[in-house]
Structure 1
Amino acid sequence: MSYTVITGASAGIGSEFAKQLAETGQDLILVARRKDKLEELAKTLQAEQGINVVCFAVDLADPKGSEILATEISTNNLAINGLINNAGFGDRGGFIDLPLERQMQMIQLNVTTLVELTHRLAPNMRQQVKPFIINVASTAAFQAGPNMAIYYATKAFVLSFSEALHEELRPQGIAVSALCPGPTLSEFAEQANITDSNLFKAGAMTSAEVAKQALANRNSAIVVTGIKNQVGVLFGKVSPRFMTRKIAGWLQA
């Protein structure tokens, strides 16, 4: 028996990953801060799909969060065949106007915890069948983002890191993918204060569709969800950086 770990599993894309993997019979380890939400989801998935679900209520924005989670997994002798680093958050506002503590927590969760969990759990995965890692980045990873400077920078790190691991771990049989969704209807968008931005006014995908495309393409190094987002990324690659960052700043207005 082997499990797929999903962080940030209590809502949004994370819960959709859980539902769609459960439909395939995959046993799950669900991780988030809200124990009640995790247990409610676990109860539903166990009843509907007959899978095993383990819940760990851990604050991964805490510097010790990844160690706590990895220790729990090891102590319970849980084999891991998948890791979805989905936990993360953003916040809209000027860099010098947003609280420094919140921005440092964003770096901790979006970058440091993701790296630590990957390093702690990947060795476990090498013994499993078709193991995979999905690191949730964003189309924000492809350019600088005025008014969300730290968030865009963290996702640029996730993209670069995931691409490198895609090459490093492929000979060991572990597929690594960077998921790069554009605007998505989820709790994340509400907490980041971006649902009224120009970016969201242009349209957003559902969490279910984002998760579906990510799982279907988990062997690809980079997964950009949706034709509109794919075109936007291609446009950004051929445009001068001064143009892409100005457009990004306008989209966050």
Structure 2
Amino acid sequence: MDLAALLDPLGAACREAGEAIRAVRSRGFAVERKGDLSPVTEADRAAEAIILAALARHAPGVPVVAEEEAAAGRIPDLAEAFFLVDPLDGTREFVRGGDDYTVNIGLVVAGTPVLGLVLAPEQGRLWAGVVGLGAWVEEADGKRSVLKVRSLGERLSVVASKSHMNQATRDFLAAELPNAELVSVGSSLKFCLLAEGSADYYPRLSPTSEWDTAAGHAVLLAAGGRVEGPDGLPLGYGKPGFLNAGFAASAGWDGPVLATYMPD
């Protein structure tokens, strides 16, 4: 599989999915609840259909685990390589009328995300990367800039979830990083801020699904960063239930280990 050759057609699919999401928002939509009580809308399903069709064309035969398909119980048998798709990451933010939501496509090989695309539809920005080849961001006008994590400065900038901030994260930050600047951002945009050198650290001390993180994880790795589980080891994929217990994403430096602060 030629990973670099996938970036442009899958980037186009992300942008098409983003336009479908914005069209749903402009005409209004109903909010439903899935089995886990998380919200889902027509926009999630429309975007996922576009991405699944594109993956079938450009990467035939590679299994795809997509959020809404998984919620319906349709999960393929996995191979060494498989895609993880979150067609609308940050649905709560989208439903509230906010802009911090994204479209995500990640490719995992041997447990590691190696290709990722993250689109912010309201910004028109597309972050993309292939591990070993590098990462870039494409603006709405088509201009591209190379991504690279920044060196650690005098003051640490930490990004955290808008919708999922919990007491364990507050305790961790107060104990380990009391002087850090804290910025609240939704969806996988947090990985992108690290990848483009706008932030240094992203701790997550509550569960996420692997499709929430794979694309942003790959972009960050391609830009020189890293993502570790609560035990300090590289965060892997293909886990039971496709669940992450927690993780810490960084611009490549040794941060504190999360394990002590993880909630029971």
TM norm. shorter chain > 0.5: no
**Relative contact order (C-alpha < 8 Å, sep 6+): which is higher?**
1
TM-score with structure 1 length normalisation? 0.31
Higher strand share: 2
